[in-house]
A = this chain, B = another copy of it.
């Protein structure tokens, strides 16, 4: 409502009686490096000065009307500059001109408040004194400090602390979203609580220090205030130690009391944009702890600004005036994915009533690699075996601390509760994106979310690799897609610029059904593996040529079929040409977006077939899809393809080994036929891997 409309009332008449109010001579206000300041001839003016700034006085403004000259007296530790420059500083009196300006500075701090005097004396025509304006000055040094040089310690008053720059020569402090949970039971994400329940939680936060050098106390009414913007308050929270009257940190010995009175109190955060902080006099440091509340996203660029102001008292019912403001800037750590080329730490699989043998072979493989196996049991997975699809493992990183963070898929199968109930915990974070009015499809499962190893694409380097997702062709209005909320989240992280492939041609529609990356000793230190029907047919034709036409695919299984029959199936050939074209389309995109050569890519012999799916024809693997593998260092857990036997060995396994072994990779073929392949998934879909973070720090990216 417009105040004016209710302002038709006596208060707007000059006759209104006014209450007596505190004197106001000392309202000097500014938030600038150079600050305007008033003189008063009737009364001494009290001014607090922050070392490093300038006080500007307009000399004529408050001069008695008849003043013609002025002279200046000041203590030795107060410096001043006159404009226009006085011809002779020693002259008793300078002529007063309409543009006479005075600039005051000090380079030492006060022992006690108001310990510096400064005065301007005004004279009339005959050099007779007609007024004397006195300033009582208090000089103080203060800076709000952060780790702007990203070395893990909070340096003093970094000149770049208020801005942020990417790159090895960049600057600007780093913040973590406090998305883990200090307590293992009764979990809540720490960022959901506006208090600190455990001291260990401080490790997840960025330190911020208020450094003061000045008198034991500020003149009466002066205060320190920390403040953030409305937008900022959605993204950050600041805590400080509880302090006693003396401003010293308090420790609560009595445990019962401790229960009610935490050692740390919130200063600013959600619904609290500003709060006073104590002035600890003399040479002192007050520590703050800063936590992020949200990840970068479509409507949040990740930057957060925190301000500390010195405010001056004002008349009763009038707000205090900020006379100096110090500002620092943080960037929230993005959520970062880990490619197959990074060292595995833990492997996750589900145990179901039908996958005992599978579990056993995974366990053996994991033991060889010397990493841990984490089994998600049936009471938790409720028969949902697709560990790859419910979660994606990543991490967040700062100079002082880092920990893994699981991205929970909106897929929400029966594994639904696993990420929050099992994974979330101390130094294990959680983040998710839920759709509002969007339909979730199979493409939202995270078998459809992968990341490449580090690449350089015509000069531009991606040291953390590039995210890879699968969608439908943009040219069709039908077709399935990954939900917008998840895509917006992935793009907003910025440090692993995503690539959209075409995966809607598959029934399940996941990129991990036709591609993966394996480590390699040479070239770009990795190879891209692609499923290839052409390569598959080459193997079968060679078998036929070599007289193995009667050899059986799926030997011993009800699906058994001979090499000749496969090659005679023209329909299957047509379908596989279509599939090869779909994969080639993605191959062209990957070559361009990852800067790959033909020699960086290996085609794996895999056939597909088309099935009717929601009126569309989409593809599924014809035999276990070897590219859908588990990559643990140089050990590969490959779906057992059940190819024709030649001299007692599976021809497809032999071909696979001959392609991988030159790279120093060892294939273990795992039977996933019944519990996974027949349900349209394989080894990779049924597992997930927590890996070590990259040694490259995200803030060193040149963006």
Contacts and interface: CB of A to CB of B under 8 A. Distances in A.
B14 A589 contact: no
| Best-surrounded residue of A15, A478, A582, A588 (most CB of chain B within 10 A) | A588
A310 to B, nearest CB: 9
Looking at chain A's contact residues, the main secondary structure is loop
Interface stretch (A129-137, A185-193, A367-375, A608-616): A608-616
Interface string A499-522: 000001101110000000000000
A24 B274 contact: no
Contact of A588 (B36, B62, B479, B571): B36
A183 interface: no
A227 interface: yes
Given A2-B389, A12-B620, A386-B4, A472 B589 contact: no
B442 A32 contact: no
Contacts of A592: 32-34
Interface stretch (A151-159, A311-319, A335-343): A311-319
Which one of A227, A318, A319, A587 has the highest number of Cβ atoms from chain B below 10 Å of its Cβ?
A: A319
A542 B581 contact: no
A321 B314 CA distance: 71
Nearest to A3: B442
Contacts of A30: 584-585, 588
A321 B7 contact: no
Interface stretch (A168-176, A208-216, A461-469, A678-686): A678-686
B273 A227 contact: no
Interface string A52-96: 000000000110011000000000000000000000000000000
Nearest to A614: B3
A703 interface: no
Nearest to A273: B477
B25 A577 contact: yes
Contacts of A578: 24, 27, 314-315, 318
Contacts of A577: 24-25, 27, 38, 40
What copy number does this chain have within its complex? 2
B38 A580 contact: yes
Contact of A319 (B227, B411, B476): B476
Interface residues of A, number: 124
Interface in A1-52: 1-5, 7-8, 11-16, 18, 20-21, 23-25, 27-36, 38, 40
Contact of A3 (B24, B27, B35, B680): B680
A159 to B, nearest CB: 16
A616 B307 contact: no
A206 interface: no
Contacts of A575: 18, 21, 24, 315
A549 B587 CA distance: 91
Interface string A529-554: 00000100010011001000000001
Interface in A78-129: 99, 101
A681 B475 contact: no
A316 B617 contact: yes
A413 interface: yes
A184 to B, nearest CB: 29
Contacts of A389: 2
A588 B314 CA distance: 18
B473 A319 contact: yes
Contacts of A319: 472-473, 475-476, 478-479, 504-505, 616
A36 B474 contact: no
Interface string A661-703: 0000000000000000011110001000000000000000000
Contacts of A584: 29-30, 36, 38
A474 to B, nearest CB: 5
Nearest to A309: B475
A258 B325 CA distance: 66
A357 interface: no
A303 interface: no
Contact of A680 (B12, B31, B229, B554): B12
A559 B12 CA distance: 11
Contacts of A534: 61-62
A222 to B, nearest CB: 12
A609 B477 CA distance: 65
Contacts of A685: 4
Contact of A474 (B62, B274, B317, B505): B274
A220 interface: no
A322 interface: yes
A613 B227 CA distance: 25
Interface of A: 1-5, 7-8, 11-16, 18, 20-21, 23-25, 27-36, 38, 40, 61-62, 65-66, 99, 101, 225, 227, 229-231, 272-275, 298-299, 307, 309, 311, 314-322, 384, 386, 389, 411, 413, 440-442, 445, 472-479, 481, 484, 504-505, 507-509, 534, 538, 541-542, 545, 554, 559, 561, 571, 574-575, 577-578, 580-582, 584-585, 587-589, 591-592, 598-599, 609-613, 615-617, 620, 622, 678-681, 685
Given A1-B442, A28-B581, A319-B479, 8 more contacts: A3-B508, A4-B681, A15-B559, A38-B577, A227-B475, A230-B481, A273-B474, A321-B581
7 contacts: A4-B442, A8-B679, A27-B577, A34-B592, A66-B545, A225-B475, A322-B473
